[in-house]
């Protein structure tokens, strides 16, 4: 089925060009966020990610800077001109996040949160819908329909790994899902090799596999000093590993007659 593109700022996702979104799991400080944004941009990423409200498994771990991050995120966006993706964890955050994010991310834990999906059906901004870690492909597609049937057709799917019996990796990347949604839906789909593996050394190979399977892009976690990250340090790439991922990705895309969206 042909993919309908979703416009994000002056770029599109789901068109002929492959799009890379990168940034830290969590926005931690102005310095951390700005240096990461500049590094990923110079390596060829077009868009920026960064968690502000974090849904953590353990309540005593870092929960994100919350509204304290708004001003610094706006400054970094202004300086880099990169469209920004961040997770919305509660329908009551729509108003505040509206002038901070360019794309509302729905996290894996909220794929079944129909109140949140319907609320995002009322906004005029794209929604990145992550697959629930226990969500079947049909449930994920129906979750996307909650957003579109409430009035917002700008939905991008994201495969981020599912829970299986395997424990060597945080999740199991379901490459089938990428191929399936490309062939059976008209929604763009991107891959998140960071959460899909949970291990930085596996991020590049899985990213390349996703591109080969037909993904429209990637969302990748990058941190200036992964061991010191306040969340998801084990899966974050440092700047050098991210640049290596980008150069290997370009070669895979060329072999597939595709290319990276023109960079800055
Ligand atoms: C994230 O992107 O940082 C995140 C929490 O992802 P997921 O919802 O896929 O676990
Ligand atoms: Mn993360």
Over residues 128-183, the pLDDT tens digits come to 999 999 999 999 999 999 999 999 999 999 999 999 999 999 999 999 999 999 99
Q: How far is CA 50 from the centre of its chain?
A: 9
> Which residue, judged by its Cα, is nearest atom 9 of ligand 1?
108
Q: Model pTM?
A: 0.98
> Which residue, judged by its Cα, is nearest atom 5 of ligand 1?
107
> Which residue, judged by its Cα, is nearest atom 6 of ligand 1?
107
Q: 211 C-alpha to center of ligand 2: Å?
A: 21
Q: pLDDT-derived band of residue 261, with 50, 70 and 90 as boundaries?
A: confident
Whether residue 46 is predicted with pLDDT greater than 70 in this model: the reply is yes
Whether residue 262 is predicted with pLDDT greater than 90 in this model: the reply is no
Whether residue 1 is predicted with pLDDT greater than 90 in this model: the reply is no
**CA 179 – CA 212 distance, rounded (Å):** 10
**CA 147 – CA 145 distance, rounded (Å):** 5
Alpha-carbon torsion (138, 141, 143, 149), positive or negative = negative
Is residue 248 exposed (0-12), middle (13-18) or buried (19+ Cβ within 10 Å)? middle
What are phi and psi for residue 184, nearest 5 degrees?
-115, 0
207-250 residue pLDDT tens:
999 999 999 999 999 999 999 999 999 999 999 999 999 999 99
CB of residue 24 inside a 6 A radius of ligand 1: no
Q: What pLDDT was estimated at residue 264?
A: 64
129-139 residue pLDDT tens:
999 999 999 99
> Which residue, judged by its Cα, is nearest atom 3 of ligand 1?
25
Q: 255 C-alpha to center of ligand 1: Å?
A: 30
CB of residue 130 inside a 6 A radius of ligand 1: yes
Residue reference for tokens 């994920």: 140
Mean pLDDT confidence for 103-107: 98
CB of residue 170 inside a 6 A radius of ligand 1: no
């Amino acid at each position: 089925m042909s993919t309908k593109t979703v416009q994000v700022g002056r770029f599109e996702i789901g068109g002929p060009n492959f799009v890379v979104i990168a940034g830290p799991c969590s926005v931690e400080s102005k310095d951390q966020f700005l240096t990461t944004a500049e590094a990923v941009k110079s390596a060829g990423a077009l868009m920026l990610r960064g968690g502000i409200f974090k849904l953590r498994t353990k309540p005593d771990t870092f929960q994100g800077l919350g509204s304290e991050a708004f001003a610094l995120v706006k400054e970094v966006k202004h300086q880099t001109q990169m469209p920004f993706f961040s997770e919305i964890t509660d329908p009551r955050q729509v108003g505040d996040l509206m002038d901070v994010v360019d794309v509302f991310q729905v996290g894996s834990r909220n794929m079944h949160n129909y109140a949140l999906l319907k609320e995002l059906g009322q906004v005029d901004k794209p929604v990145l819908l992550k697959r629930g870690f226990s969500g079947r492909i049909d449930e994920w597609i129906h979750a996307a329909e909650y957003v579109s049937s409430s009035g917002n057709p700008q939905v991008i799917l994201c495969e981020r790994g599912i829970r299986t019996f395997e424990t060597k990796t945080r999740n199991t990347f379901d490459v089938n899902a990428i191929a399936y949604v490309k062939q059976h839906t008209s929604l763009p789909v991107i891959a998140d090799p960071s959460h899909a593996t949970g291990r930085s050394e596996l991020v590049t190979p899985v990213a390349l596999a996703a591109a080969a399977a037909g993904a429209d892009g990637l969302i990748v976690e990058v941190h200036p000093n992964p061991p010191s990250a306040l969340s998801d340090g084990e899966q974050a790439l440092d700047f050098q590993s991210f640049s290596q991922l980008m150069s290997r990705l370009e070669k895979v895309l060329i072999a597939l007659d595709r290319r990276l969206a023109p960079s800055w």
